[in-house]
A and B are shown apart, each in its own frame.
Chain A
Amino acid sequence: MSALKAVLAGNPNSGKTTLFNLIAGTHYKVANYPGVTVEKKEAKVHYDGSEIILTDLPGTYSLTAYSLEEVVARDFITTTNPDIIIDVVDASNLERNLYLAVQLMELDKPLVLALNMVDMAEKRNIRIDADLLAKKIGVPVIKTIARDGVGKKELLEGVLRFKSERKEFRISYGSDLDPALEEMEALINENAFLTESYPARWVALKYLENDVEVMKKGEVFTDVHGKLTAIVEKVEKHLKKTLDTYPEIIIADYRYGYLKSVLKDVVKKENEMERLYLSDKADKVLTHRVLGPVIMLAVLYGLYEFTFWASETPVGWLESLFGWLGGVADAALPEGLLKSLIISGVIDGVGGVLGFAPLILFMFFIIAILEDTGYMTRIAYMLDRVFRAFGLQGSSVVPYIVAGGIAGGCAIPGVMAARTIKSPKERLLTILTTPFMACGAKLPVYALLIAAFWPGNKGGMMLGITLGSWVLALLMAKVLGLTIVKGEQSVFIMELPPYRLPTLKGLLFHAWEKTWMYVKKAGTIILAVSIILWALMTFPGMSEERAAFYEDQIAQVESTVTDEEAQAAAVAEIENAALSEELRGSYAGRIGTAMEPVTQLAGFDWRTNISIIAGIAAKELVVSSLGTAYSLGEVDAEESGSLSERLASDPSWSLATALAFLMFTMLYSPCFVTLAVINKETGSKKWTAFTLVGYTAFAFVVSIIVYNVAGLIL
């Protein structure tokens, strides 16, 4: 017995995902549709002796193939040929929800309607005659309340019972289009034109709607394609002349007209326009022109504070866990390369990634709350005008803030938070500019430089850096949007769904599945990179001659200095000098030295260069590798006082160098985990390479300018 293929379609906010979770329980897999970054959820469900494979399609209002979600939904339905489509419709807003149903029915696939949230509709005094609706549109209608778990059984029974029911569905598109449609239909059937995948009438409609995707497929058959476009042209001309309109407008109007006639006796309600729902009342305050932004800032600030506060303890636990593991490895393994690899490469590398996991979890938990309550769309609505000036949109503010828009965030969840942006161009721009924010790992670098060179004005400098990051990110978004980030001017038309109380289960689902994806994907990449970086900073190692020289020195100190404290200090100094020399001789050090003639243009010597290379792996390494290079041993990023003094007094560092390095840190390549996440989220190696190479080159150019200009002024 083969499994039954069912897909779940429906409008955004129709409760589709809640219904999916209800049916699937926790037994589902999340992946991306092949080639695109739209999420795909799939679950195997057993019911009444049958196996059902349920796929959750992205939420769409229509199947017009304009947005990525629509293309994915349509392609999935036409290529996988499911046994049944479950269309989830919001009972409170039947007309618009059924607009999608009409399009699904025109695909001539078996369909079941899940009339969802009937309780909400009843609360609003909307009564729906489900049986009459089923009779009128010829599709089974099952009432559900997904949130409360009502209707699961009936729906599954319906799926099994109605799977084979396939009815032809056609509505009239009026005296102007119907004759043309018939002519085209006949032509399509005669030539079996695309009929393998689509019903003939549907193809005809798509030609009239100017559907680029379908027409591209049809172009191969020049003969039929030519005849069809000729008919379409004739109709278009006629409509333009007589009604000053376009076929696609007529089609949409007739679909709504059909639905109005269907719903006439099906839906009974009071005159809703007059009523002010609770949600509308809340909006009067929450999206108020003055009060709204104030509340929003408070909410976003609260979100940020909560995330970092709540994740602090578990992050600490994980840090201690990895510290403990490192200790165990230190004690168990013999001195040597293997030990160094396990501790510095594997444990530190993987620990660095997993250490962020609680942060990501809380972040997504909060974002899930913002999304599930419906507040996220209000943020987008209130801020859209401001962000649009830079080619972004209202929703871009969340990724920015999470990434360090309020200093101390993290670009990894920030980039991931850009998923809430639906328009591809704006989403890409947000992803590409989010890493400029002052993330938690960049802060020690800023703090180090400020303490060394601007000790009198710490707070002001930090504020300036944070604001500067915003300005740079927004300007970069503007420039990229005008130059290399291609894509059409996006459309900002969306629903502000009624406020809803999210379910804890739903929130945990959302948060957990995204965290797990992060751990899995980023974990494998960072491990590899971490090992490579370890190798770069370890090999080829010090020559035996030099190693013997330092050993001799230590032996000498041990034999001549009797005071224990003084002896230990002297030994540590020699060991640090040895470490520094070893680092300079390593591949990373050689690269840093080789880069010197060029980086000197910005005032960076080989030590700075090593810290830059290490910073690509993780920004935390900038301070610690500078410490090693300056013979101070490993410097803790949080306590860099001695390094500050060292830099301030070092002749190779000046105010101009510090300013140039500060700008460089702000602008250059994000760390490797962020790069991995960018690669995953954009699905493009090109953009990942751009953020790595392009930004680093750009940062360098800026640093050179800053260094030279500042050198003249300061």
Chain B
Amino acid sequence: MEVLLRNMKVNQKGTVIRINCEGEVCRRIRDIGISVGAEVFVTGRAPLYDPVALKVNDTVVTLRNSEADNIYVEVKG
């Protein structure tokens, strides 16, 4: 099932299938290691549900929901 990273739940896992934008935001997203094919695991959400923290390539990274809106994930399970 394909969902936006914003809509993933804590402890959900998936594979990045599309990062749909250009410019600084998307470059930063890739620079930090979120690339197409990367496995992501949502480890937590900040108190107000935003930003989101996820594990990718063994590191925990965090980004705002507005930025997560560019990332499409194929969710497992």
Chain A residues within 8 Å of B, Cβ to Cβ: 61-62, 64, 66, 92-93, 95-96, 99, 124, 126, 210, 246, 248-249, 252-253, 256, 260, 272-273, 279-280, 283-284, 287-290, 292-293, 377, 381-386, 388, 488, 491-498
* Residue contact B62 to A496, C-beta cutoff 8 Å: yes
Given A62-B27, A248-B22, A249-B26, CB of A492 within 8 Å of CB of B55? no
* Residue contact B58 to A287, C-beta cutoff 8 Å: no
Residue from B24, B48, B57 in contact with A95 in the complex, judged by beta carbons closer than 8 Å: B57
Interface string of B4-35 (1 = CB under 8 A from A): 00000000010000010010111111111101
* Residue contact B27 to A64, C-beta cutoff 8 Å: yes
B53 / chain A contacts, CB cutoff of 8 Å: 283, 287, 381, 496
Q: Count residues of B near A (Cβ-Cβ below 8 Å).
A: 38
Contacts A92-B59, A96-B57, A497-B60 aside, 12 further interface pairs with beta carbons under 8 A come to A99-B33, A126-B58, A249-B22, A249-B26, A287-B53, A377-B62, A381-B46, A493-B63, A494-B61, A494-B62, A495-B59, A496-B62
Can you list 13 A-B pairs, Cβ within 8 angstroms, ordered by A?
A253-B36, A256-B30, A280-B60, A287-B44, A289-B46, A289-B47, A290-B47, A383-B46, A385-B51, A491-B67, A492-B62, A493-B28, A496-B59
In the complex, what distance in Å separates the CA atom of A492 from the CA atom of B24? Answer: 11
In the complex, what distance in Å separates the CA atom of A492 from the CA atom of B46? Answer: 13
Secondary structure at the A interface, as helix, strand, loop or mixed, is helix
Q: Name which residue of chain B comes closest to A276, CB basis.
A: B43
Residue from B26, B28, B46, B59 in contact with A96 in the complex, judged by beta carbons closer than 8 Å: B59
A210 / chain B contacts, CB cutoff of 8 Å: 22
Residue from B37, B49, B58 in contact with A124 in the complex, judged by beta carbons closer than 8 Å: B58
* Residue contact B48 to A385, C-beta cutoff 8 Å: yes
Given A283-B44, A289-B45, A488-B24, CB of A493 within 8 Å of CB of B33? no
Report the minimal beta-carbon distance from A599 to chain B, rounded to whole angstroms. Answer: 44
Residue from A64, A253, A284, A292 in contact with B47 in the complex, judged by beta carbons closer than 8 Å: A292
In the complex, what distance in Å separates the CA atom of A93 from the CA atom of B33? Answer: 9
B72 near A: Cβ within 8 Å? no
What is the number of contacts between chain A and chain B, taking CB atoms within 8 Å? Answer: 128
In the complex, what distance in Å separates the CA atom of A164 from the CA atom of B47? Answer: 52
Report the minimal beta-carbon distance from B8 to chain A, rounded to whole angstroms. Answer: 15
B51 / chain A contacts, CB cutoff of 8 Å: 381, 384-385, 492
In the complex, what distance in Å separates the CA atom of A253 from the CA atom of B45? Answer: 27
A292 / chain B contacts, CB cutoff of 8 Å: 47
* Residue contact A66 to B28, C-beta cutoff 8 Å: yes
Report the minimal beta-carbon distance from B64 to chain A, rounded to whole angstroms. Answer: 5
B37 / chain A contacts, CB cutoff of 8 Å: 256, 260
B41 / chain A contacts, CB cutoff of 8 Å: 273
Given A64-B27, A384-B51, CB of A493 within 8 Å of CB of B61? yes
In the complex, what distance in Å separates the CA atom of A95 from the CA atom of B59? Answer: 11
Report the minimal beta-carbon distance from A488 to chain B, rounded to whole angstroms. Answer: 7
* Residue contact A252 to B62, C-beta cutoff 8 Å: no
Report the minimal beta-carbon distance from A667 to chain B, rounded to whole angstroms. Answer: 29
Given A66-B28, A96-B32, A385-B50, CB of A492 within 8 Å of CB of B67? yes
* Residue contact A283 to B24, C-beta cutoff 8 Å: no
* Residue contact B39 to A385, C-beta cutoff 8 Å: no
A249 / chain B contacts, CB cutoff of 8 Å: 19, 22, 26, 30
B45 / chain A contacts, CB cutoff of 8 Å: 289
Q: Name which residue of chain B comes closest to A92, CB basis.
A: B58
* Residue contact A66 to B24, C-beta cutoff 8 Å: yes
In the complex, what distance in Å separates the CA atom of A280 from the CA atom of B43? Answer: 8
* Residue contact A384 to B43, C-beta cutoff 8 Å: no
In the complex, what distance in Å separates the CA atom of A284 from the CA atom of B44? Answer: 8
In the complex, what distance in Å separates the CA atom of A377 from the CA atom of B53? Answer: 11
Report the minimal beta-carbon distance from A95 to chain B, rounded to whole angstroms. Answer: 5
B61 / chain A contacts, CB cutoff of 8 Å: 493-496
* Residue contact A283 to B60, C-beta cutoff 8 Å: yes
Given A283-B43, A494-B62, CB of A273 within 8 Å of CB of B24? no
In the complex, what distance in Å separates the CA atom of A64 from the CA atom of B27? Answer: 8
* Residue contact A273 to B39, C-beta cutoff 8 Å: yes
In the complex, what distance in Å separates the CA atom of A248 from the CA atom of B43? Answer: 29
Q: Name which residue of chain B comes closest to A288, CB basis.
A: B44
In the complex, what distance in Å separates the CA atom of A284 from the CA atom of B64? Answer: 19
In the complex, what distance in Å separates the CA atom of A290 from the CA atom of B46? Answer: 9
Report the minimal beta-carbon distance from A263 to chain B, rounded to whole angstroms. Answer: 10
* Residue contact B50 to A66, C-beta cutoff 8 Å: no
In the complex, what distance in Å separates the CA atom of A95 from the CA atom of B39? Answer: 13
* Residue contact A491 to B35, C-beta cutoff 8 Å: no
Counting chain A CB atoms within 10 Å of each CB, the highest count among B13, B30, B37, B51 belongs to B30
A283 / chain B contacts, CB cutoff of 8 Å: 43-44, 53, 60
* Residue contact A253 to B35, C-beta cutoff 8 Å: yes
* Residue contact A382 to B60, C-beta cutoff 8 Å: no
In the complex, what distance in Å separates the CA atom of A272 from the CA atom of B41? Answer: 11
A386 / chain B contacts, CB cutoff of 8 Å: 48
* Residue contact B46 to A493, C-beta cutoff 8 Å: no
In the complex, what distance in Å separates the CA atom of A430 from the CA atom of B26? Answer: 26
A253 / chain B contacts, CB cutoff of 8 Å: 35-36
Report the minimal beta-carbon distance from B73 to chain A, rounded to whole angstroms. Answer: 14
Report the minimal beta-carbon distance from A9 to chain B, rounded to whole angstroms. Answer: 14
In the complex, what distance in Å separates the CA atom of A388 from the CA atom of B66? Answer: 12
Q: Name which residue of chain A comes closest to B65, CB basis.
A: A385
Report the minimal beta-carbon distance from B13 to chain A, rounded to whole angstroms. Answer: 7
Report the minimal beta-carbon distance from A236 to chain B, rounded to whole angstroms. Answer: 10
Q: Name which residue of chain A comes closest to B68, CB basis.
A: A493
B27 / chain A contacts, CB cutoff of 8 Å: 62, 64, 66, 248, 252
Counting chain B CB atoms within 10 Å of each CB, the highest count among A95, A384, A493 belongs to A493
In the complex, what distance in Å separates the CA atom of A95 from the CA atom of B32? Answer: 10
In the complex, what distance in Å separates the CA atom of A377 from the CA atom of B61? Answer: 10
* Residue contact A246 to B22, C-beta cutoff 8 Å: yes
Report the minimal beta-carbon distance from A214 to chain B, rounded to whole angstroms. Answer: 14
Given A93-B59, A96-B57, A273-B13, CB of A491 within 8 Å of CB of B47? no
Q: Name which residue of chain A comes closest to B64, CB basis.
A: A492
In the complex, what distance in Å separates the CA atom of A495 from the CA atom of B58? Answer: 11
Given A66-B27, A248-B22, A273-B41, CB of A384 within 8 Å of CB of B55? no
* Residue contact B28 to A381, C-beta cutoff 8 Å: no
In the complex, what distance in Å separates the CA atom of A246 from the CA atom of B18? Answer: 12
Residue from A273, A280, A384 in contact with B46 in the complex, judged by beta carbons closer than 8 Å: A384
In the complex, what distance in Å separates the CA atom of A260 from the CA atom of B38? Answer: 10
* Residue contact B47 to A382, C-beta cutoff 8 Å: yes
Q: Name which residue of chain B comes closest to A94, CB basis.
A: B57
